[in-house]
Amino acid sequence: MGIRAAVMRRALAVALAVTGLTTMLTACDGRSGAGAGAAASAVDTGANADAKSALGAGAGAGGDGQPRAVGAVAASASPVTQAAPALPVTASTVKVAAHDAGQSRAQVYESVRQMTALGKQLFFDPTLSGSGKLACASCHSPEHGFTPANARPVQLGGSDMRRAGLRAAPTLKYLQSVPAFAEHYHESDDEGDESVDAGPTGGLTWDGRVDRGSAQASIPLLSSFEMGSSPARVTAAVKAAPYADAFRAAFGEHIFDNDDATFNAVLQALGTFEQTPELFYPYTSKYDAYLAGKASLSAAELHGLELFNDERKGNCASCHISQRTRDGAPPQFSDFGLIAIGVPRNRALPANRDPHFYDLGACGPERTDLKGRDEFCGIFRTPTLRNVALKQSFFHNGIYHSLEQVVRFYVERDTNPGKFYPVVGGKVRKFDDLPQRYWANLNTEPPFDRKPGDKPALDEAEIADVVAFLKTLTDGYRPEGKAAAAR
């Protein structure tokens, strides 16, 4: 089977299914309370009925494949997949919640609205952190596509704000259609060939180790090198915050009686906020306007797009999907596959001062459930390229700081490896961040299909055009005429 074909099919299967609450309401008929079990444990203590069911229901949404929510696709296809989409409020959330709790849709919407408003305040609140200085927004700045506002490869955190992280902070945008992690990802039968194994796919973070935004949020809150907090500390902060009353109103009078319950409520509110369509998946880039026939690309951008798609040139779209799905949903610029591309070791990272330390992605050490499974070593989740031009550090270890450098790495990794990897005694130490026993995991599809001295898949002018195209993926595009009119 052609890998590319598999990848394209995978792209179809991870089609965006939920674009917002409006869609949720219209799309969710006929679902039953698949998430009821998970609902009960989502916020165990103190949550009022509204919040509890609105939150928890999303955890188990999916299963009957109708509509094609990503979580549902993954769940129906693979036994190892959990039936949860990456972020909890899905098409069926509102319906299921209303159904379970016997409430009106309006009441459920009201809970989601409250939670979103709270999640936003929490997201910007540094008092949740051990240092009192670090908010989610410190590393995920809204003005920078929810990535850091600085060019450090990794961010600083911890109680003294001096501990360096291991990885570059990714964007929080367009995570809504990341499927739950699956070791073997299969398409749903109506989207592609179900028998094709597209390999490890999905999950949040670079190594796909958590499935839901709410669960993810506990990582930075508790990490000693990030927010360095604790449930007790978070509870104290929320109790003292200006939004404490709103928090009680959303989660129940007694929500502060139990630190773990408060902490879970915080995670749920953050996870709900992260699904605000206008902020996190607005689809307002120039490329979206182009796909809708409302903007034209410049000659360089258009050429860049062609090179991006061309299997024998950039071949970028084989992993970073650029076309609408079969049912017309906009592309996510990722198939969410976990892939090893052999990014060089970033010697600027403090963790890498230890020559024995390797960040091997899915096989550890951050992720622990696939430890010792060699076939998962060196693989990282393919990131979306939407808003990538707003980033200042690229790849999981933040080694590069310009898109030109990134694209050059793709096309010259194999033709001129000495440009990217250390040269010791006249010999290039290729793939210096991946022990040799895992090299079989490395991708060798175009543009990685060459050897030293071969012609790179793209020349410098073509690289510039690909970069010009990547810049059309930034949200907030206004056609020039309109911008002038608005002024």
> Contact positions toward ligand HEC, by CB under 6 A?
134, 136, 138-140, 155, 157, 165, 167, 169-170, 172, 175, 204-207, 213, 216-217, 220-221, 226-227, 270, 314-316, 318-320, 339, 341, 343, 366, 380, 382-383, 385, 388, 391, 394-396, 403, 406-407, 410, 443, 445, 447, 466
**Rounded to an integer, what distance in angstroms lies between the CA atom of residue 383 and that of residue 333?**
8
Cα 486–chain centre separation: 33
Min CB(321)–ligand HEC separation in Å: 11
Taking the least distance from each CB to ligand HEC, the nearer of 27 and 333 is 333
Taking the least distance from each CB to ligand HEC, the nearer of 167 and 233 is 167
Taking the least distance from each CB to ligand HEC, the nearer of 253 and 454 is 454
Min CB(169)–ligand HEC separation in Å: 4
Select from 213, 209, 262, 212 the least CA-distant residue to 233: 262
- Token pair for residue 92? 């069926």
Min CB(466)–ligand HEC separation in Å: 5
Whether the Cβ atoms of residue 345 and residue 352 lie closer than 8 Å to each other: yes
Q: Could you tell me the CA-to-CA distances from 22 to 35, 132, 163, 273 in Å, in that order?
A: 20, 37, 43, 16
Taking the least distance from each CB to ligand HEC, the nearer of 101 and 139 is 139
Whether the Cβ atoms of residue 43 and residue 251 lie closer than 8 Å to each other: yes
Whether the Cβ atoms of residue 111 and residue 54 lie closer than 8 Å to each other: yes
Taking the least distance from each CB to ligand HEC, the nearer of 73 and 136 is 136
What single-letter DSSP state applies at residue 447? T
Min CB(439)–ligand HEC separation in Å: 15
Min CB(130)–ligand HEC separation in Å: 11
Min CB(163)–ligand HEC separation in Å: 9
Min CB(203)–ligand HEC separation in Å: 7
8 dihedral zone (left: phi>0; alpha: psi -120 to 50; beta): alpha
**Rounded to an integer, what distance in angstroms lies between the CA atom of residue 143 and that of residue 300?**
26
What single-letter DSSP state applies at residue 128? G
Identity (one letter) of the amino acid at 194? E
Whether the Cβ atoms of residue 58 and residue 35 lie closer than 8 Å to each other: yes
What single-letter DSSP state applies at residue 339? E
Q: At what angle do helices 259-273 and 49-57 cross, to 10 degrees?
A: 60
Taking the least distance from each CB to ligand HEC, the nearer of 103 and 268 is 268
Taking the least distance from each CB to ligand HEC, the nearer of 67 and 331 is 331
Min CB(410)–ligand HEC separation in Å: 4
What single-letter DSSP state applies at residue 258? -
Taking the least distance from each CB to ligand HEC, the nearer of 137 and 249 is 137
- Token pair for residue 391? 């980033």
What single-letter DSSP state applies at residue 66? S
**Rounded to an integer, what distance in angstroms lies between the CA atom of residue 408 and that of residue 328?**
32
Min CB(120)–ligand HEC separation in Å: 11
Min CB(208)–ligand HEC separation in Å: 8
- Token pair for residue 21? 């609450």
Taking the least distance from each CB to ligand HEC, the nearer of 94 and 399 is 399
Contacts of 424 (CB under 8 A, 6+ apart): none
Identity (one letter) of the amino acid at 24? M
Whether the Cβ atoms of residue 204 and residue 334 lie closer than 8 Å to each other: no
Taking the least distance from each CB to ligand HEC, the nearer of 28 and 267 is 267
